[in-house]
Amino acid sequence: MSARNRELLALIPASLLVTVGFAAVFIQEDDLISDASLTYGGVFLGLCFVAHLIIRFTLPDADPYLFPLVALLACFGLVMIYRIDETLAREQAQWFVIGLIVFAATILLLRRDYRVLERYRYTIALLGIVLLLLPRVPGIGAQVNGAYLGIDLGPIAFQPAELAKICIIVFLASYLRDTRQMLVQGARRFAGITFPPLKHLGPLLVVWGAAMVLLVFIRDLGSSLMFFGAFLAILYVATDRASFVVIGFSMFAFGAWFFASTVGHVADRIDAWQHPFDDELYDQVGGSYQIAQSLFAQADGGVAGAGFGQALIETPGGGPILPAAQTDLIYALITNELGLAGACGVLVVYLLITERGMRIAMLAQDSFSTLLAAGLSAVFALQVFVIVGGVVKLIPLTGVTLPFISYGGSSIVANFLLVALLLLISDRARREAVGG
């Protein structure tokens, strides 16, 4: 069977899920049954089919499972958001349309050779840094819970970090393709640890510095961790030197510790993380109420969950009992309603997507493609780890989104762009692998 037919078949679980999911919402809130809401499912499946056709005609050899897995998550996320708020689901569906347009445009623009991106690597790097710093620009920057993650342009609110992560990965993949040999060959052993050559340490220190600046400016430990973690992953893949990772991670940990104890907001987040039930922190604005409620919601879910549509999101008075249920805490809501079992299911899908991405990286014939695919997969997996880790109190809670599930336009657009790049790499890699 051809790759594309396998992809088409693999879309069946997603279509089943979206059908059953919406049906469950209808049955539960029978007063909501209307033709308009029933069409959500249909329209969404139509979009998936269109995307499949685009891939079929432009990237016939691309990985057949990546897109169906993404569609599965997107369907699940849409049903989840529909269950929270119908209006949000409509907006989310519109963002999916935009995301798919970006997806198609990326594929069409770069299908001849996506490696042209290397030519613009410094432009892209600059774009990434500008995007990251945009939320601090007075007038358009928006502060949420002390962190600067979003910009507000009147009608559109945007989280530029979502796009910035792709820019930075493209830059790093391209930069490390050139310097990896030198990094390895010039390395010296000192006190039993292999250090990169001083000459090339500079750029790496710059990346470390950028992550620290990120921490200070954006004041968000999670996104810094995500960026720096992805950087270390690419660095390791490029050089195969575990010592570089150890050095890099130690530097990050030191920096994080230093700023956590000096930057007020970061310190507050860490306090809230360690003492979620402290009376003072619990009542404080931006304190531990959110993480405490996240844990209560998960406890309420148990192994099998409270049942779809059963979780408490708002108090009868209208106040949130699970704040930011559609964005930051959507994983807690999933656990609440579908239990440990459902939550694990979602994590497995993310793991499978990462696995496809890593496989693409292994299959790729040139260093840039390998590093790009590995970097994109790593940043994707780390984003999931950072937000879910925050929700389950493994690390301090931060404001990044759960890819394809959380409500939010920038997240959807950026992650579709990421998947488009992975498919482009995959198509070329598999063709070359077959062609010899």
- Please state, in angstroms and rounded to a whole number, the distance separating the CA atoms of residues 52 and 41: 17
Q: Which residue, 160 or 389, has its beta carbon nearer to other proteins?
A: 389
Q: Which residue, 92 or 335, has its beta carbon nearer to other proteins?
A: 335
CB of 135 to other proteins, least distance (A): 27
Q: Which residue, 104 or 325, has its beta carbon nearer to other proteins?
A: 325
| Interface stretch with other proteins, choices 91-99, 215-223, 260-268, 380-388 (CB under 8 A) | 380-388
CB of 180 to other proteins, least distance (A): 9
Cα dist. 343→70, 339, 365, 417 in Å?
Answer: 16, 6, 36, 25
When binding is defined by CB under 8 A, the residue of 308, 404, 407, 416 that contacts other proteins is: 308
Interface residues for other proteins in 336-355 (CB under 8 A)? 339-340, 343-344, 347, 350-351, 354-355
Q: How many residues bind other proteins (CB under 8 A)?
A: 60
When binding is defined by CB under 8 A, the residue of 1, 139, 191, 315 that contacts other proteins is: 315
When binding is defined by CB under 8 A, the residue of 318, 434, 435, 436 that contacts other proteins is: 318
Tokens describing residue 44: 């969404």
Phi/psi for 136 (5° steps) reads -90, -5
- Please state, in angstroms and rounded to a whole number, the distance separating the CA atoms of residues 5 and 1: 6
| 323 binding other proteins? (CB under 8 A) | no
Nearest to 272 by CA among 149, 397, 147, 399: 397
- Please state, in angstroms and rounded to a whole number, the distance separating the CA atoms of residues 360 and 53: 21
CB of 142 to other proteins, least distance (A): 29
| 298 binding other proteins? (CB under 8 A) | yes
* Contact indicator for 302, 338 with CB cutoff of 8 Å: no
Q: Which residue, 140 or 295, has its beta carbon nearer to other proteins?
A: 295
**Helices 221-239, 198-218: inter-axial angle, 10-degree rounding:** 160
- Please state, in angstroms and rounded to a whole number, the distance separating the CA atoms of residues 268 and 261: 9
| 328 binding other proteins? (CB under 8 A) | no
When binding is defined by CB under 8 A, the residue of 141, 186, 309, 323 that contacts other proteins is: 309
- Please state, in angstroms and rounded to a whole number, the distance separating the CA atoms of residues 390 and 105: 34
| Interface stretch with other proteins, choices 42-50, 97-105, 291-299, 411-419 (CB under 8 A) | 291-299
Site string for other proteins, 385-414 (x = CB under 8 A): x--xx--xxx--------------------
Interface residues for other proteins in 4-43 (CB under 8 A)? 24, 27-28
Q: Which residue, 195 or 296, has its beta carbon nearer to other proteins?
A: 296
CB of 52 to other proteins, least distance (A): 27
Work out whether the CA dihedral 109, 381, 354, 368 comes out positive or negative: positive
Nearest to 46 by CA among 18, 26, 22: 18
CB of 358 to other proteins, least distance (A): 5
- Please state, in angstroms and rounded to a whole number, the distance separating the CA atoms of residues 352 and 153: 36
- Please state, in angstroms and rounded to a whole number, the distance separating the CA atoms of residues 44 and 210: 39
- Please state, in angstroms and rounded to a whole number, the distance separating the CA atoms of residues 113 and 131: 25
Q: Which residue, 30 or 264, has its beta carbon nearer to other proteins?
A: 30
Q: In sequence order, what are the residues at sequence separation of 6 or more whose Cβ sits closer than 8 angstroms to the Cβ of residue 256?
A: 215, 221, 224, 225
Q: Which residue, 152 or 432, has its beta carbon nearer to other proteins?
A: 432
Nearest to 141 by CA among 167, 164, 117, 159: 159
Work out whether the CA dihedral 404, 406, 409, 415 comes out positive or negative: negative
When binding is defined by CB under 8 A, the residue of 92, 370, 398, 410 that contacts other proteins is: 370
| 362 binding other proteins? (CB under 8 A) | yes
Interface residues for other proteins in 238-277 (CB under 8 A)? 238, 240, 277
When binding is defined by CB under 8 A, the residue of 132, 247, 372, 381 that contacts other proteins is: 381
CB of 9 to other proteins, least distance (A): 25
Alpha helices in 138-241 (DSSP H): 160-185, 198-218, 221-239
The footprint of other proteins (CB under 8 A) covers 24, 27-28, 233, 236-238, 240, 277, 282, 292, 295-310, 312, 314-316, 318, 321, 335, 339-340, 343-344, 347, 350-351, 354-355, 358, 361-362, 367, 370-371, 374, 378, 381-382, 384-385, 388-389, 392-394
